[in-house]
Structure 1
Amino acid sequence: MKTLIAHGKLLVDDQLISQNVLIENGLVTAITMPDQVVDADQAIDVEGKFVSPGLVDVHVHYREPGFNDKETIRTGTMAAAHGGYTTVGAMPNLDPTPDTVEHLTDQIKLNKDKGLIKVLQYATITENRRGNQLVDFTGLKQAGAFAFSNDGSGIQTSETMYQAMQEIAKLGMSLVAHVEDSSLSANGALAEEAAQRIGVKPIPWVSETAQVARDLTLAEATGVHYHVCHVSSKHTVEIIREAKRRGVNVTCEVTPHHLLLTEDNIIEDNSLFKMNPPLRSQSDRQALIGGLLDGTIDMIATDHAPHTYEQKKQPISDAPFGITGSETAFSMLYTYFVRTGIFTLGQLINWMALRPAQVFKLATAGKLAVGLPADIAVFDLNHEGEIKVTEFASKGKNSPFIGEKVFGQTVLTMVDGQVVYQ
């Protein structure tokens, strides 16, 4: 079966150019000009919309097994497809956690059986994401681990982190860190000013930056690829910038919500604005934008974290951390940064597709080219729509962006040439 994506616009040297894409046996077999005659069994006319490489998100939470009331692999990957994502890295916050070869093997099979898109599975760094007992890194790599992370649980002991980095470096794998000194952030909920305003305990910026500083020293000593999750503080941006200048093998990500929002948006006790790390100041937000633009921050990742309505309707002091992001990321960022001239479309696609694939050595992801899998997203850049909770595929409706008027909504997503969202 030959499928032609007709009358689309592809990004070429940061310009949108009218081109057609021919797909056969799951691969892109030709990219042609609109007036070139192409033999195809079926055509999908996308009417001048933007035909993009499928987006790559290295930080999502799918909750299955163990927490299926929040999300399942099926609903999570449906949400990703709705947002234009074709490859994701799924965090190990599960029950059981993928901390043994058996658990990881079972999880990878579950992801493949139930997922609509390509789900790459993180293994843990320590047993059950807790304590100091390291996992069998070699066995887990051989079983198919994407990378290693205790996401949601910063490793508190320097010796444990140092030993983990040494072992992971030997394997040429990536250590992906949720950075948080729990002795500094224990029981906190929001950044300092918002916490004082709402009347909850704070999560100070030092809880993030102090642990990153420790880890950068250890990463420099071991040579491991050290990737920092969801950077939120200007101080963290600065020390990562300096570490990169020294040649430390460090990369990092920022979330859409930290780029779009600050603690000033929290004007009442509303747990839709509770995430970890918390929203910080306007100067922190500007430093994150600057970090993307100068290359200090490598990519954008959603930290898609669905919860039930009952859990998130609780006060900020009691509700769980996290918001959903898969279905809103591209449209919000395109609307607020590309249409306003702060980012180019090429930069946004680099941070949401090409760069994460490069950093994590995903040779066939993040690009739209002849010979590669037809992992494709099509976005409508010209018509305004509304983010509606009724259109969410995710079980989690916990987004502060519901009701936003946006451009760049997804109209089609394909994985290996098969339509997974339309």
Structure 2
Amino acid sequence: MGKKRLLIRGARVVDPANVVDRMADILIEEGEISKIESPKPRAQILEDIEVIEAQGKIVLPGLIDMHVHLRQPGGEDKETILSGCEAAAAGGFTAMACMPNTHPPVDTPKLVKWIISQAEEAKARVYPIAAITEGRRGEALSDMARLLEAGAVAFSDDGDPVGNPQLMLSALRVAKQLDALIISHAEEKALTQGGQMNEGRVSRALGLKGIPAVAEYVGVARDIALAEYVGAKLHIAHLSTAGAVELVRQAKRRGAKITAETAPHYFTLTEEQVKVSGTNAKMNPPLRTLEDVEAIKEGLADGTIDVIASDHAPHTVHEKALPFCQAPFGIIGLETTLGLVLTHLVAPRVISLSEAAAMMSTNPARILGIRGGEIKAGDKANLTIIDPELEWKVEVGQFRSKSRNSPFQGWRLKGKAIMTIVEGEVVAPQSS
């Protein structure tokens, strides 16, 4: 039996890929967008179509989060592929790319295929990112060609950099031959050993060893230089510092094939949040200074930063209850990212809604080389419907994620995904 026919009626449709921002009806048949047309009177709609009344709502291309830690295999107490997909759907994401720092790491074709098969029953599409090096040990390259064939969309040792520059150079060379993407966790580990939060006034006041901003700068500078040297594509994950933003800006001006992302915590929070949220404000890279926050916003506004991703990094309550120096790095973000973008970037006009949609859908699809990121007839119906006026309070206890480690508990946000459609099926809100 085919999927039911849906009509999204009277919505504002924002599609940056096709420079569309207009009122329209969207007809979905057999999981695909069949028509996008001017709004029709209700009397002209056929009876066998389920109508979603969307006046005052906005339809975006299905959001794509290109930096998520789903923890499976090996970390099922923190998150599973299924629970992560539930969280994604609740947050408006129709697809995500998952990082390979699992136990065991995703460094074999078998594991790549296993993740894809596990996600088939889930509420969002999952694209595996495979490890650059075997076991993420930074010693020998993984078999990138076979991993690509199995379905990997990119390569990263995220959670750690590839410490050996010769090995990173080799990875970039192989990636260029395969037309594959390397995603860099840019950090000079020799400068961050034992670090717990941003190095500066707050770390000194709290008596915690600092992670200096220059560690990110050195890591970004090295990897841009290596990528330019071989002419390879490079995507830099989770930018957090003013210096790193400027390095990316200059590289793009030179014509380098560099793209970059940041996460919502880097444009909404500073190192001061550690005093408030404790270990729930501990992540790597760490929260930085107000000057860095402003530089991240400037990088988003001028297009230096291409993507906003959550860097969803779930951990158990028990782990985050450990003393600060023993607690793991990372916070969850799938269910707060869109609200934070709408409230703290779009509402104050740092970026437009169309630019936000590009950074959260069109650009991730283009960078990863996957389908999606636009609204067009004949494509799979992967859509996010938002209510831009909906005011809501972050309550982590109600999240679909298995974990609760968010510094945004209690925050009031404006704008939320009210419906997520994956291949023509409404996957959120979940029917009760």
Quickly name the TM-score band, shorter chain normalised. over 0.9
**Aligned mates of 1:77, 1:15 — CA distance in 2:** 28
- Kept in 2, the 8 Å contact 1:169–1:225? The answer is yes
Aligned to 1:123: 130
The structural deviation recorded for 1:111 is: 2.6
**Aligned mates of 1:230, 1:48 — CA distance in 2:** 33
**Aligned mates of 1:81, 1:38 — CA distance in 2:** 28
Q: State the secondary structure of the residue aligned to 1:56.
A: strand
Matched, 1:151 2:158: yes
Match for residue 10 of structure 1 among 8, 13, 33? 13
- Kept in 2, the 8 Å contact 1:373–1:416? The answer is yes
Aligned to 1:379: 386
The structural deviation recorded for 1:15 is: 8.3
Aligned to 1:273: 281
Give ranges in structure 1 of 5+ residues lacking alignment. Answer: none
**Cα-to-partner distance string for 1:180-202 (whole Å, 9 max, x where unaligned):** 11111011011112221211111
Matched, 1:50 2:58: yes
**Aligned mates of 1:377, 1:284 — CA distance in 2:** 31
The structural deviation recorded for 1:376 is: 0.8
Matched, 1:417 2:420: no
Aligned to 1:112: 120
Query: Which residue identity does 1:7 align to in structure 2?
Result: G
**Aligned mates of 1:377, 1:23 — CA distance in 2:** 14
**Aligned mates of 2:226, 2:348 — CA distance in 1:** 40
Query: Which residue identity does 2:204 align to in structure 1?
Result: Q
Query: Which residue identity does 1:51 align to in structure 2?
Result: V
**Aligned mates of 2:171, 2:358 — CA distance in 1:** 30
Query: Which residue identity does 1:343 align to in structure 2?
Result: I
**Aligned mates of 2:108, 2:396 — CA distance in 1:** 37
State TM-score, norm by structure 1: 0.96
- Kept in 2, the 8 Å contact 1:134–1:160? The answer is yes
**Cα-to-partner distance string for 1:15-58 (whole Å, 9 max, x where unaligned):** 86432111001111111222353435211223421121111111
**Aligned mates of 1:320, 1:60 — CA distance in 2:** 16
Match for residue 360 of structure 1 among 363, 368, 371? 368
**Cα-to-partner distance string for 1:188-233 (whole Å, 9 max, x where unaligned):** 0111122212111111111111111111111011111111000111
**Cα-to-partner distance string for 1:80-132 (whole Å, 9 max, x where unaligned):** 1011001110000112222122222222222324x211100011011111131
Query: Which residue identity does 1:41 align to in structure 2?
Result: I
Q: State the secondary structure of the residue aligned to 1:266.
A: helix
Change (3 A) 1:12 1:188: closer
The structural deviation recorded for 1:9 is: 2.1
Aligned to 1:330: 338
Equivalent runs, 1:243-392 vs 2, <5 Å: 243-268=251-276, 270-362=278-370, 364-392=371-399
- Kept in 1, the 8 Å contact 2:235–2:258? The answer is yes
Deviates more, 1:290-299 or 1:44-53: 44-53
Q: State the secondary structure of the residue aligned to 2:405.
A: coil
Q: Number of aligned residue pairs: give it.
A: 420
**Aligned mates of 2:40, 2:334 — CA distance in 1:** 35
CA RMSD of aligned residues (A): 1.6
**Aligned mates of 2:309, 2:15 — CA distance in 1:** 24
Deviates more, 1:221-230 or 1:4-13: 4-13
Q: State the secondary structure of the residue aligned to 2:286.
A: coil
State TM-score, norm by structure 2: 0.94
Deviates more, 1:166-175 or 1:402-411: 402-411
- Kept in 1, the 8 Å contact 2:61–2:374? The answer is yes
The structural deviation recorded for 1:372 is: 1.2
Q: State the secondary structure of the residue aligned to 2:197.
A: coil
- Kept in 2, the 8 Å contact 1:130–1:153? The answer is no
Equivalent runs, 1:14-25 vs 2, <5 Å: 17-25=22-30
Aligned to 1:177: 184
Equivalent runs, 1:73-152 vs 2, <5 Å: 73-113=81-121, 115-152=122-159
- Kept in 1, the 8 Å contact 2:130–2:147? The answer is yes
Aligned to 1:233: 241
Q: State the secondary structure of the residue aligned to 1:365.
A: coil
Deviates more, 1:298-307 or 1:41-50: 41-50
**Aligned mates of 1:268, 1:301 — CA distance in 2:** 24
Query: Which residue identity does 2:34 align to in structure 1?
Result: T
- Kept in 2, the 8 Å contact 1:270–1:315? The answer is no
Match for residue 167 of structure 1 among 171, 174, 198? 174
**Aligned mates of 2:204, 2:277 — CA distance in 1:** 12
Matched, 1:30 2:35: yes
- Kept in 1, the 8 Å contact 2:25–2:40? The answer is no
The structural deviation recorded for 1:409 is: 1.5
The structural deviation recorded for 1:268 is: 4.9
Q: State the secondary structure of the residue aligned to 1:286.
A: helix
Change (3 A) 1:176 1:17: same
Equivalent runs, 1:200-211 vs 2, <5 Å: 200-211=208-219
**Aligned mates of 1:12, 1:100 — CA distance in 2:** 36
**Aligned mates of 1:325, 1:101 — CA distance in 2:** 28
The structural deviation recorded for 1:269 is: 6.8
Change (3 A) 1:15 1:417: closer
**Cα-to-partner distance string for 1:156-181 (whole Å, 9 max, x where unaligned):** 11111011111111000000011111
